[in-house]
């Protein structure tokens, strides 16, 4: 039987490919974005506690009420936003599910969605499988800054959504206040929605603030903002995130969510609610990861890989043009097999590829791992 694929150009993700290659060759895996150190012991203990207490059946579709209340308090504390926990917060099976659900709820056949590329690889297929048309706006190395006037020229009567990501994966840049103000002005008086991927909100360095859409009333009224507990608390395999959106958008979001996932892991939700009662559990993360960033950079001194920048996330971009002229995917694979460190080529984050000689390395690792990786990379 012949069938037409809804995603004919989608294959195995580069993250799976590079992790498999790292395993095959015994290489240090700095490609896929996950920590190699444990989730907080107290948080894991709380999960076990709630499991033993019998909190093992379906949670409410929108999420456990006490967790949504904690998140409303957090939004107020950090961004001055008054969020209704009953009508404006939904707990999801990770941020990627929240992103897919937001797109599925609002993007239909022929709707255009502007992507700021390089972009997280789930955006484009989520748009395409729902009949939408991705419209890429390409950032350029080494600064990867948005020219909002140029992006505005991509807006048409068919533009349904603009997706932003700050702090940005893979570039490590952050949007500043002037960026959010420009986006607020650009979308004013339109029906354009903003999907704001803010999973690295607590991983911003050098004293800079996170510019969430929650800070800007003109953006908040048209935005769905997604977040990840896995990125925050070093447990990406738990796959728990959440979406904040105004009530009228949340109502549509939940129509899809209830038939996509319905509800999310119950004991983990209760554990997270208890853990979030102390804001220090997340307020110190920027210092924790900044120390790792700086340590990794020290370990890379003397390497021919040239660091670009890292204002946020746990990724650092490096220019390898002093070492090789080969395409970045080929170079990343050779790094893995010949030098023993796995990386991600940045071209895969573009719809049409790019010719920049840039790779992405993840520093969410123990100091022992980063020290060993630096030792190997300095020999290149």
Per residue in 293-313, pLDDT (tens digit) is 999 999 999 999 999 989 999
Give CA–CA dist 238/218, Å, rounded.
Answer: 33
Cβ neighbour number for residue 277 with a 10 Å cutoff = 11
Domain membership of residue 253 (yes or no) is yes
What's the number of domains the chain is made of?
A: 2
Q: Minimal CA–CA distance to 78: which of 334, 253, 370, 286?
A: 286
Domain membership of residue 6 (yes or no) is no
CB 330 within 8 A of CB 310: no
Where residue 346 sits, what CATH number does that domain have? 3.90.1150.10
Per residue in 146-164, pLDDT (tens digit) is 999 999 999 999 999 999 9
Does residue 307 share a domain with residue 227? Answer: no
Give CA–CA dist 180/184, Å, rounded.
Answer: 6
Per residue in 4-26, pLDDT (tens digit) is 888 888 878 888 999 999 999 99
pTM of the model: 0.96
Does residue 320 share a domain with residue 212? Answer: no
Domain membership of residue 263 (yes or no) is yes
Does residue 169 share a domain with residue 60? Answer: yes
Any bridge partners for residue 344, and if so which? 360
Range of the domain at 310: 14-32+284-377
Per residue in 153-198, pLDDT (tens digit) is 999 999 999 999 999 999 999 999 999 999 999 999 999 999 999 9
Does residue 329 share a domain with residue 224? Answer: no
Structural element, H or E, at residue 194: strand 193-197
CB 223 within 8 A of CB 231: no
Per residue in 85-135, pLDDT (tens digit) is 999 999 999 999 999 999 999 999 999 999 999 999 999 999 999 999 999
Does residue 301 share a domain with residue 229? Answer: no
Helices and strands, counts by H and E, the chain: 15, 13
Does residue 272 share a domain with residue 240? Answer: yes
Does residue 50 share a domain with residue 87? Answer: yes
Does residue 164 share a domain with residue 118? Answer: yes
Final residue in a domain of this structure, among 247, 278, 309: 278
Q: What mean pLDDT do residues 349-359 have?
A: 93
């Amino acid at each position: 039987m012949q069938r037409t694929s809804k995603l004919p150009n989608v294959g195995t993700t580069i993250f799976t490919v590079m992790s498999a290659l790292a395993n095959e060759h015994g290489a240090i895996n700095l490609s896929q974005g996950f920590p190699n150190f444990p989730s907080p012991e107290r948080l894991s203990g709380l999960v076990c506690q709630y499991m033993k207490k019998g909190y093992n059946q379906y949670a409410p579709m929108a999420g456990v009420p006490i967790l949504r209340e904690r998140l409303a308090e957090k939004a107020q504390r950090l961004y001055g936003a008054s969020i209704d926990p009953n009508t404006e917060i939904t707990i999801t099976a990770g941020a990627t599910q929240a992103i897919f659900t937001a797109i599925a709820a609002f993007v239909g056949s022929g709707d255009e969605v502007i992507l700021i590329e390089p972009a997280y690889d789930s955006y484009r297929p989520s748009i395409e499988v729902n009949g939408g048309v991705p419209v890429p706006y390409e950032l350029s190395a080494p600064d990867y800054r948005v020219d909002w006037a140029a992006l505005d020229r991509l807006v048409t009567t068919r533009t349904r959504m603009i997706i932003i990501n700050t702090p940005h994966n893979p570039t490590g840049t952050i949007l500043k206040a002037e960026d959010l103000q420009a986006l607020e002005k650009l979308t004013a008086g339109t029906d354009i929605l903003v999907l704001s991927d803010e999973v690295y909100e607590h991983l911003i360095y050098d004293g800079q603030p996170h510019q969430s859409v929650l800070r800007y009333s003109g953006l908040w009224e048209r935005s769905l903002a997604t977040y990840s507990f896995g990125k925050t608390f070093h447990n990406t395999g738990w796959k728990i995130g959440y979406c904040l959106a105004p009530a009228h958008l949340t109502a549509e979001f939940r129509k899809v969510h209830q038939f996509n996932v319905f509800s999310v892991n119950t004991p983990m939700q209760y554990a997270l609610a208890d853990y979030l009662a102390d804001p220090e559990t997340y307020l110190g993360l920027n210092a924790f990861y900044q120390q790792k960033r700086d340590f990794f950079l020290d370990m890379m001194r003397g390497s021919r890989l040239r660091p670009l920048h890292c204002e946020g996330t746990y990724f650092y971009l490096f220019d390898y043009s002093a070492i090789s002229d080969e395409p970045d995917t080929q170079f990343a694979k050779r790094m893995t097999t010949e030098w023993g460190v796995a990386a991600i080529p940045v071209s895969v984050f573009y719809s049409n590829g790019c010719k920049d000689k840039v790779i992405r390395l993840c520093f969410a690792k123990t100091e022992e791992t980063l020290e060993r990786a630096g030792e190997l990379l300095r020999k290149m």
